[in-house]
Structure 1
Amino acid sequence: MKPPKTGEMLHLRGNALDKGEPVALPLTQSSMFHLPGAPEGQDFYGRVNNPTWEHLEQVLAHLEGAPCLSFPSGMAAISAALFATVKSGSRILIPSDGYYVTRVLAERFLTNLGVSVTERPTTAFTAGGFDGFDVIFVESPSNPGLDMMDLPAIAAAVRAAGGITIADNTTMTPLGQRPLDRGIDIVVASDTKAMGGHSDLLMGHVASHCAQIMERIAEWRRVSGAIPGPHEAWLLHRGLETLDVRFDRMCSSAQVLAEQLAGHQMVKHIRYPGLPDDPSHTLARAQTTRFGFLLSITLESEAKAEAFINTCPLLRPATSFGGVHSSAERRARWGDDVDPGFIRLSVGCEPVEELWHSIEASLNRL
């Protein structure tokens, strides 16, 4: 898989400018547009059109290599993809160890509409096959466990069984992995994370090569009102302009930290796909261009995990991930089925030697 051309992405707008137009993307903050006569072919109402979103979606489409629609959060994107592809009587399959809010949406809302929901763990996701399922939702690497699925094999098996695949690619971004290139039908992501990168916005997107699917998702957005704000779209566009630089730094630093942490006496267990003995390493080498910026460590106890997170000066104790500031959290506090001492660590853009010295000193004090 070749990563998208980010240099070309930076000039998508510039190469279409007329003389005197601003190089930076303008923020169009308007609910109404001047609309004499017939409305066809024009921006006409802020719930349906906005020039700032539209250019953002061109950039996202370039990164994904497919048509793209933006949403006000990652869960709004996931909701749109699911509600556009299921109906009463549909059967869906989701990971039991992926992002927990996806499970909450399925269990508390989709089931009430007559949708049957089945869960399987990532490492046994193909057990039992895919016959009879209408929608297969995958997440690879899983959040927070970092287990991986064979995306091409699953995509081919689901297509043969007559189903549709949706992949959550939040943890890798299109620079690390493009599931659509691996045969997946729909990709969703939370752009709140590394895509925006500065912990100052909520956004998400959906992309697919299938025009019919994208028409349904566009209709869902239009009638549900699940639209991004223009200011958030503008912020995300600005964040994407530095994604390549940030992602490279974060992934490179994560590899260094993982290798150092693997030998630290306070670390009971570590997961990072870039480590040769990690269970996800072989799949990661086959279907990603980088090993990502997320890693996990397990310490001896909840108390030691909390002490480490809360006293390391170069780690923000916060939920979410993908920002320029490295952050960490104990995922058991949200109900994830992990050890009480399990920590998800999101590596940011700090100088890696300084970051390691801070992490090492905090571990040594435990």
Structure 2
Amino acid sequence: MPLGDSTRAVHAGLPPLTPGQPFLPGPVFAAPFVLDPVTGGEGIDWYGRPHNASRRHLEAAIGELEGGQCLTFATGMAAVGATLLSLLHPGDTVIVPADGYFTTRAFARAELATRGVTVLTAPTAGPYPSFQGVRLVLVETPANPGLDVCDLAELAAAAHAAGALLAVDNTTATPLGQRPLELGADLVVASGTKALTGHSDLLLGYLATRDEELLARLRSWRDSTGGAPAAFDSWLAHRSLATLDLRLGRQTANAAAVAEALATHPAVAWVRWPGRPADPSYAVAARQMARIPGVVTFELAGEAAVGRFLSAARLVIPATSFGGLHTTADRRAQWGDDAPPGLVRLSCGVEDTADLVADINQALDAV
């Protein structure tokens, strides 16, 4: 019988249980490990950059949830950078999201173009250029911050027909919201800093794939360049996974209520949340996603209006990133993102729904 999301999250990646030991062994702190005097490092851990038991437990856990094999990195951008720099070579062409995380787009333009890689952009909801001659298609769905959604099965079929690889940024959805590998993607890339670990207390990135060749290439890149997460961060992330289903459940419920409140308030120009039937991405999201994330995007009149909203709110904390226990709001234009000055990405936390909606309404009234 298939296990439910909470059961899978609680038990993912745990080593065999040993009487007298904790469910999840504490972090392994080591740079060099003791070597066998005869065989040396063969078949055992020998150095902390490529080897760490805490990291392996976390990778096993995320791999179980994503449905593939996982490789963790120090940050989400380290995982993105490894993907782009290890898989693309001079003469290749890559397509990146025009409306996804702007640092990915900026990195591709700054670092790949100088290496002879052609960088094209396409909006998440399309239209896409021809995939003929393209080496890699990178999409982010739902896109951050606009929350558009694309049909991954359709996109995977089109990319593979042209000989391209499809990589999917699964940060916003998390593996409990969407499993891109089952929909045909070759690679999942994500920031575990956000909702996956959900406590706003660590940085983490990861890749997941079912392709052994891709995994070996990316592992070689990570182990050589040293972009692995630290032992304590790995342990802390694994510990946090156990409550993933519970956290997402409250965040999604809060987002549904908040989106409706925003949609009916005169201070709000527009609101996006793929779980609303009125949202342009609703049909694709309802078909493709197991749950809609707790992120809602909306627009106020401008920078000053956002300032008044955040100053009046008691439960909405101004902060970048998203997916944490506390409700936060981020005016994306302040970071150089190509977004309207009044665009707000609101990340719903796990507060009581009625309290959160009441606070947001009174803060909007102040606008």
- Give the TM-score, by structure 1 length: 0.96
Q: Does 2:289 match 1:288?
A: yes
Distance in 2 (CA, whole Å) between partners of 1:4 and 1:112 is 47
| Aligned partner letter, 1:104 | A
Which residue is 2:311 aligned to? Answer: 310
Match of 2:47 among 45, 48, 51: 45
Which residue is 1:107 aligned to? Answer: 109
Match of 1:82 among 81, 84, 89: 84
Q: Secondary structure at the match of 2:259?
A: helix
Which residue is 1:26 aligned to? Answer: 26
Which residue is 2:152 aligned to? Answer: 151
| Aligned partner letter, 2:226 | G
Deviation at 1:148?
Answer: 1.2
Which residue is 1:222 aligned to? Answer: 223
Return closer, same or farther for 1:9/1:347 CA change in 2, 3 Å cut-off. Answer: closer
Q: Is the CA contact 2:8–2:65 (under 8 Å) kept in the aligned structure 1?
A: no
User: Identity of counterpart residues, as a percentage?
Assistant: 42
Q: Is the CA contact 1:134–1:162 (under 8 Å) kept in the aligned structure 2?
A: yes
Return closer, same or farther for 1:137/1:78 CA change in 2, 3 Å cut-off. Answer: same
Deviation at 1:365?
Answer: 1.6
Return closer, same or farther for 1:284/1:14 CA change in 2, 3 Å cut-off. Answer: closer
Q: Secondary structure at the match of 1:175?
A: coil
Alignment of 1:230-309 (within 5 A): 230-309=231-310
Distance in 1 (CA, whole Å) between partners of 2:13 and 2:122 is 43
Residues 92-134 of structure 1: CA distance to partner in whole angstroms, max 9, x if unpaired?
Answer: 01111110111111111111111111112223242x3211100
Return closer, same or farther for 1:231/1:118 CA change in 2, 3 Å cut-off. Answer: same
Q: Is the CA contact 1:4–1:63 (under 8 Å) kept in the aligned structure 2?
A: no
Deviation at 1:151?
Answer: 0.8
Alignment of 1:344-355 (within 5 A): 344-355=345-356
Between 1:4-13 and 1:133-142, the stretch displaced more is: 4-13
Deviation at 1:256?
Answer: 1.1
Distance in 2 (CA, whole Å) between partners of 1:13 and 1:296 is 34
Which residue is 1:62 aligned to? Answer: 64
Distance in 2 (CA, whole Å) between partners of 1:4 and 1:157 is 32
Deviation at 1:5?
Answer: 4.1
Q: Secondary structure at the match of 1:205?
A: strand
Return closer, same or farther for 1:332/1:219 CA change in 2, 3 Å cut-off. Answer: same
Distance in 1 (CA, whole Å) between partners of 2:311 and 2:322 is 16
Residues 42-82 of structure 1: CA distance to partner in whole angstroms, max 9, x if unpaired?
Answer: 11100010000001111001110100011100001111122
Distance in 1 (CA, whole Å) between partners of 2:336 and 2:5 is 39
Deviation at 1:15?
Answer: 6.7
Which residue is 2:137 aligned to? Answer: 136
Return closer, same or farther for 1:322/1:165 CA change in 2, 3 Å cut-off. Answer: same
Q: Is the CA contact 1:138–1:167 (under 8 Å) kept in the aligned structure 2?
A: yes
Deviation at 1:33?
Answer: 1.1
Residues 113-161 of structure 1: CA distance to partner in whole angstroms, max 9, x if unpaired?
Answer: 11111112223242x3211100001011111011111111110000010
| Aligned partner letter, 1:211 | E
* Number of corresponding residues: 364
Unpaired segments of 5 or more residues in structure 2? none
Return closer, same or farther for 1:210/1:14 CA change in 2, 3 Å cut-off. Answer: closer
Distance in 2 (CA, whole Å) between partners of 1:15 and 1:145 is 39
| Aligned partner letter, 1:77 | A
Return closer, same or farther for 1:143/1:311 CA change in 2, 3 Å cut-off. Answer: same
Distance in 1 (CA, whole Å) between partners of 2:10 and 2:273 is 31
Distance in 1 (CA, whole Å) between partners of 2:148 and 2:13 is 38
Alignment of 1:197-212 (within 5 A): 197-212=198-213
